[in-house]
Chains A and B, each alone.
Chain A
């Protein structure tokens, strides 16, 4: 029952806490691109890969009481924090998911800024292109983010590290 919901709960169970909707979107996308079997469909939007399906599923998990969403007022915007509830833990206990161990990858992703994860996810979105073309695309689709050469190099290295982490 609700396999895709359970997979997300498994993610939250490992992550403990995720801060920011954009960060959450990018983390799940990047894990998908590392062959973690999340099935949420992504499309390219103004701010990079985005999944309406993921947004809705997280809303459902919150409404069901499996995930807790906390809203924090910032100066000019709101920020959201997510974590698994006790009910969510009970559900996960009843309905096990066929997921690889995500601990190391989720920890590594959770330490990064959402700006950096936006860069990484955008690079992964265009990964079927040659490396040079990916870097050109970054500047074309995200001119306002003004990513530096160092950030892009760091992102390539990050992708390699992340993909090198074994599943089990």
Chain B
């Protein structure tokens, strides 16, 4: 009987995909992994969190993205066949790691991780190594295979070439999400010639490098990353939704810790509030469950929790102004005081949001070995760091643009009856015009 790890489906299965046209599956192992409850759960977690409140098309899931990353790695491996440095024995490991790399993401990952001090990478490892259907399939491939997959995803696997396919500054993960997010948000940025990049990728001993003739395709990819960050990922309206989401979670946790009696007992959140989340509980919480609570918490007695939930569900978001925490330090302290006087709790309704609150990996040339840069393979065989050869990349990997905004509920201020107080607040907020 054929070994499980080599077993192929009787006929190739395909998933229709709007980005890659078709996602091809021939390995039984991959087919089985896709069918597990842990992988199917990714259908219920949106790839872009709250971005759908800004770009209504952005409802795609981590399931779509995971299949996309798998497909890109499958194509890269196909191109690497018979090339020096490529070890064909690592094929299935690469495919599994690509498919499962985001398995530990939870609902609205970013805010949940910040508020409840969670780490989706930890849960990815837990799902792969724990008592799960995924683990049973991987261990059926060979004993210890699940650990190998976890190591590749954690970037601690000895074969760095394998790691760099899944995670480097030009990897299958980024190539999929840029194109997919561009497609579903409907923006015109985020597009680049992936086919060309795949054709000029070359395996080396410890990383994938780019044949120098493909430099312009890589420039396009780096520009896409830069533009998608400012136009989509860090969109100020999305950030407003994210601010409200975080404040809901903070408020619910605070109420729980204060002994508040919820109308709807937050059973699914209890371990999150206690910051002691077990895998089983983690897997149960998806975005459907979170929306259910937010919907019903609109009727809670606590005015802050119910107001914030109503804002999130009905997209009644905070407005914002540009804010410089250095030059406007005193204004912020005045506003904090004035909000308190107005009965608007500044801890929930006056929020500074910074670009570092949503880390996004700009291309970094790795000047002090912070991160491995993209290397071009020159005709002489020498490797050269990308920004040393490309003026475009050098320009956008130099001094970084950073950004801070101050979010607040304009509708609450508009309704203030104390006109003197209202004018004082507005004088500070609107001196440069609201957005």
Determine if chain A interacts with chain B: yes
Contacting pair A78 B368 (CB below 8 A): yes
Contacting pair A77 B368 (CB below 8 A): yes
Contacting pair A1 B371 (CB below 8 A): no
Residues of B within 8 A of A46 (CB): 155, 160, 369, 371-372
Contacting pair B155 A1 (CB below 8 A): no
Contacting pair B333 A65 (CB below 8 A): no
In the bound complex, CA of A140 to CA of B326 (Å): 45
Residue of B nearest to A140 (CB): B158
Fill in one digit per residue for A30-73: 1 if any B CB lies within 8 Å of its CB, else 0.
Answer: 00000000010101111100101101110110011110000000
- Flag whether B361 is at the interface (Cβ < 8 A): yes
- Flag whether A79 is at the interface (Cβ < 8 A): yes
- Flag whether A87 is at the interface (Cβ < 8 A): yes
Assess A47 versus B402: contact at CB under 8 Å? Given A2-B325, A65-B326: no
Contacting pair A47 B371 (CB below 8 A): yes
Beyond known contacts A22-B370, A60-B355, A63-B400: 5 more, CB 8 A cutoff: A44-B156, A46-B369, A64-B326, A77-B368, A137-B156
Chain A residues within CB distance 8 Å of chain B: 1-2, 4-5, 20-22, 25, 39, 41, 43-47, 50, 52-53, 55-57, 59-60, 63-66, 77-80, 87, 90-91, 94, 114, 126, 137, 140-141
Contacting pair A77 B367 (CB below 8 A): yes
Contacting pair A55 B355 (CB below 8 A): no
In the bound complex, CA of A57 to CA of B158 (Å): 31
Chain B residues within CB distance 8 Å of chain A: 113-114, 119, 121, 154-156, 158, 160, 324-326, 329, 332-333, 352, 354-356, 359-361, 364, 367-372, 400, 402, 404
In the bound complex, CA of A110 to CA of B160 (Å): 30
Name the one of A50, A78, A91 contacting B325, with C-beta atoms under 8 angstroms. Answer: A91
Secondary structure dominating the interface of A? helix
What are 7 A-to-B residue pairs whose CB atoms are below 8 Å? A44-B155, A50-B371, A57-B356, A60-B402, A77-B367, A140-B158, A141-B156
Contacting pair B156 A56 (CB below 8 A): no
Name the one of A5, A20, A43 contacting B368, with C-beta atoms under 8 angstroms. Answer: A20
Pairs A-B, 5 closest by C-beta atoms: A56-B356, A46-B372, A53-B359, A57-B356, A60-B402
Tell me the smallest distance from the CB of B387 to a CB of chain A, in Å.
12
Residues of A within 8 A of B160 (CB): 46
Name the one of A56, A65, A90 contacting B400, with C-beta atoms under 8 angstroms. Answer: A56
Contacting pair A22 B326 (CB below 8 A): no
Contacting pair B333 A94 (CB below 8 A): yes
Contacting pair A56 B355 (CB below 8 A): yes
Contacting pair A47 B369 (CB below 8 A): yes
Assess A55 versus B325: contact at CB under 8 Å? Given A50-B370, A141-B156: no
Contacting pair B326 A66 (CB below 8 A): yes
Residues of A within 8 A of B121 (CB): 43
